[in-house]
A and B are shown apart, each in its own frame.
Chain A
Amino acid sequence: MSVNFDELTNQEYKYGFVTNIEQDIAPRGLNEDIIRLISSKKNEPEWMLEWRLKAYRHWCTMKEPKWHNVYYPPIDYNNISYYAAPKKKPESLDEVDPELLKTYEKLGIPLNEQKMLAGVAVDAVFDSVSLITTFKEKLAELGIIFCSFSEAVLKHPELVKKYLGLVVPYTDNYFASLNSAVFSDGSFVYVPKGVRSPMELSTYFRINAENTGQFERTLIIADEGSYVSYLEGCTAPKRDENQLHAAVVELITHDNATIKYSTIQNWYPGDKDGKGGIYNFVTKRGRCLGRNSHISWTQVETGSAITWKYPSCILEGDNSVGEFYSVAITNNRQQADTGTKMIHVGKNTRSNIVSKGISAGFGQNTYRGLVQIHKSADGARNYTQCDSMLIGDKCGAHTFPYIEVKNSSAQMEHEASTSKIGEDQIFYLKQRGLSAEDAVSMIVNGFCKKVISELPFEFAIEAERLLSISLEGSVG
């Protein structure tokens, strides 16, 4: 009858199944031949291969960073396979292997357009390739390009050449350089001038193959006066080995354009003793190039053994706005080092940061954020709210906020709090008839409400459910 915080039971990860399908897998190891192989599998033009090779050569000169507040054994980059794809490449939905369709049905992402959530277009990425992109034709009527990255390289080379690496150059950081060399697939979005995307665009990433890494690359460009809301979801099977996921996401907004980017990250977190799980080392960044442009990141990070990412905004256009709303949960042996960078360059630029970290079990949760006001950024404003909640007494919450101000007209606000989930609150809810787990779930969802309410409606409910599942077993 007591709330026993020590009694941790194994949480149920319901996406842990494996799809049995014939796969085309590259041999393990990383060298120029592997990169040439990936590039040829995708029939890439010469310039794309050259870019990859430049990135690889640069990566070879780099050292893996160690400044983060997470711990993991050394990664053997030559023991990973950098390409895995189902053998049969489908031309249309009819040709997609029924096993794969079943996989996505199980994940709650039916790819059949009739069955889909109305108003959500999906790009389904399975290991290294995009399987299918739905509602493509409908979007094309408005001039919106929504396709796999591989397809964009072939069909829209002028756009890819112009924007690839504009936000995250291949020299940016260790994992971004690695990604630039071996990236497999991902989504590409271009919204033309003045167009408001009539539906949510989403990509569903699924890791299936063993001993492979997933290195997807996403590029979203919102031209003048356009608007797009994009959502990504991620799952992977239960495996005893750790798997590396090193993605790069680049966002670009021109004058008066808005991109709203939401993530529900539910990679396999490993078991309760910390065995297995995904290393989620991701570089996400947006550039508000245009005046009055707007980039908003919302992330719900419940999965992965280790999460290491800082979705950021470079606010170059005057009056541009950057937002970051984050919920990160670490339970059992999970670790997260996440936050954002808001770089104010333009005049009257504004940024808003709301971060909610929840630690349970032996989980370690770090918020790391940088707010930088350049000399040119007259009238810049930032508001940061950073709250941590602890469940039990073996977990940790850490906060590293960096604030650099070089313009005296800047207005900065920073609020932070750390609280322990209250026995009093749990008892109060139990006295009203709620079970201990429902009580915790209710308190945590209340704590995260400000972030969850930023998600597109269809996904907010999913996110709430995910929060509860992630904390299952955190109270006895």
Chain B
Amino acid sequence: MLKKPMLEIRNLHVKVNDQEILNGVDLKVNAGEVHSIMGPNGSGKSTLAQVLAGRDTYEVTEGEIIYQGKNLLEIKPEERACMGIFMAFQYPVEILGVNNTYLLRTALNAQRKFRGLEPMKPVEFAKLLKEKAKIVQMSDDLLQRSVNEGFSGGEKKRNEIFQMAVLEPTLGILDETDSGLDIDALKIVANGVNAMRSKERAFIVITHYQRLLNYIVPDYVHVLVDGKIVKSGGKELAFELESKGYTWIEEEDRTAIPANA
């Protein structure tokens, strides 16, 4: 018997301000897998991430998303988070006066409560923070500052991965986490993600460039063009894209017979 995928997206159509951004995305993600979604600017990569996280500015007009056997589209964003969906934001927001550590403790305990667990004891939490901070080289200073306030671009992205490490999600979605990172920061972020890879956990890594995939090696690569996945393959697809560019796919796509014709 085939095991059920953790996440299954079927024929997903999404509109923003009456403009169709996604038109018929299909994707299956099993536990333990890393899927990379690549594509040119404006192809709908970030929209897909936002819809998975539950952002309400996007209107789903057709299709469905099944996560852990449940209809995800009927579930509030905070409950999705509690069910183990984590999104590392492309543009993490600043929240003045809210201590980074305080946010994490509140979030972790909210998630634990949802799962019927007691709040984590302060000592235990401090230990957890220390351990996870090491993975992405977060300094004490960054932990104690207001959420993302005055953080550099790289620090903000590292903070996202750090939060992910503490919250230990089942499905991690990285929305262009590599954009704006220098090579050292990129390695730190990738190490953080790699340290979390496991049989129970899956990742969707959205990126514009193949560069990140040298460090986070995906099991599958999907190419999103004009709101549709036009090509899927193994990691070698990423290299091919890097050398030939997206136009290669677009041309190929135009000449190919539609899969569902």
Which A residues form the contact surface with B (CB < 8 A)?
1-3, 422-425, 427-436, 438, 442-443, 445-450
Contact = CB atoms under 8 A, between A and B. Distances in A.
Contacts of B146: 446
Nearest to A428: B93
Nearest to B77: A430
Contacts of B103: 429, 432, 442
B55 interface: yes
A447 B149 CA distance: 13
Contacts of B54: 1, 430-431
Contacts of A424: 93
Contacts of A436: 78
13 contacts: A1-B77, A429-B95, A430-B76, A430-B78, A432-B104, A433-B78, A433-B107, A436-B78, A442-B103, A443-B98, A445-B98, A446-B96, A447-B96
Contacts of A442: 95, 98, 103, 106
Contacts of A443: 95, 98
Given A425-B95, A429-B103, A433-B82, A438 B77 contact: no
A450 B146 CA distance: 12
B82 A446 contact: no
Interface of B: 53-57, 75-78, 80-82, 86-87, 89, 92-93, 95-98, 103-104, 106-108, 110-111, 114, 146, 163, 167
Contacts of A446: 95-98, 146
B81 A433 contact: yes
B106 A434 contact: yes
Given A432-B107, A433-B110, A434-B107, A427 B77 contact: yes
Instruction: Say whether chain A's binding surface is mostly helix, strand, loop, or mixed.
Output: helix
A430 B93 contact: no
A436 B76 CA distance: 10
Contacts of B163: 432
Given A1-B76, A427-B55, 10 more contacts: A1-B77, A428-B92, A431-B77, A432-B103, A433-B111, A434-B110, A435-B110, A438-B106, A447-B96, A447-B97
Contacts of B98: 442-443, 445-446
Contacts of A450: 97
Contacts of B56: 1-3
A426 to B, nearest CB: 9
Nearest to A422: B93
A433 B97 contact: no
A257 to B, nearest CB: 32
Contacts of B95: 425, 428-429, 442-443, 446
Given A422-B93, A443-B95, A447-B96, A431 B87 contact: yes
Contact of B93 (A2, A3, A425, A438): A425
Contacts of B92: 428
Q: Interface centre among B53, B87, B104, B110, by most A CB within 10 Å?
A: B110
Nearest to B97: A446
Contacts of B86: 431
Contacts of B108: 433
A425 B147 CA distance: 10
Given A427-B77, A438-B106, A447-B96, A433 B53 contact: no
B110 A428 contact: no
Nearest to B56: A2
Contacts of B106: 434, 438, 442
A251 B243 CA distance: 76
Nearest to A439: B78
Given A427-B55, A438-B110, A446-B146, A433 B167 contact: yes
A305 to B, nearest CB: 28
Nearest to B94: A425
B81 A431 contact: yes
B53 A445 contact: no
Nearest to B55: A427
A57 B75 CA distance: 66
Contact of B53 (A2, A3, A423, A431): A431
Contacts of B81: 430-433
A435 B108 CA distance: 13
B89 A445 contact: no
A445 B110 CA distance: 18
A3 B177 CA distance: 26
Q: Interface centre among A429, A432, A448, by most B CB within 10 Å?
A: A432
Contacts of B55: 427
A343 to B, nearest CB: 30
A455 to B, nearest CB: 15
Contacts of B167: 432-433
A433 B83 CA distance: 9
Nearest to B173: A431
Nearest to B166: A432
Q: Interface centre among A436, A438, A445, A446, by most B CB within 10 Å?
A: A446
A433 B57 CA distance: 19
Q: Interface centre among A429, A430, A431, A449, by most B CB within 10 Å?
A: A431
Contacts of A3: 56
Contacts of A425: 93, 95
Nearest to A442: B98
Given A433-B114, A442-B95, A442-B106, A428 B76 contact: no
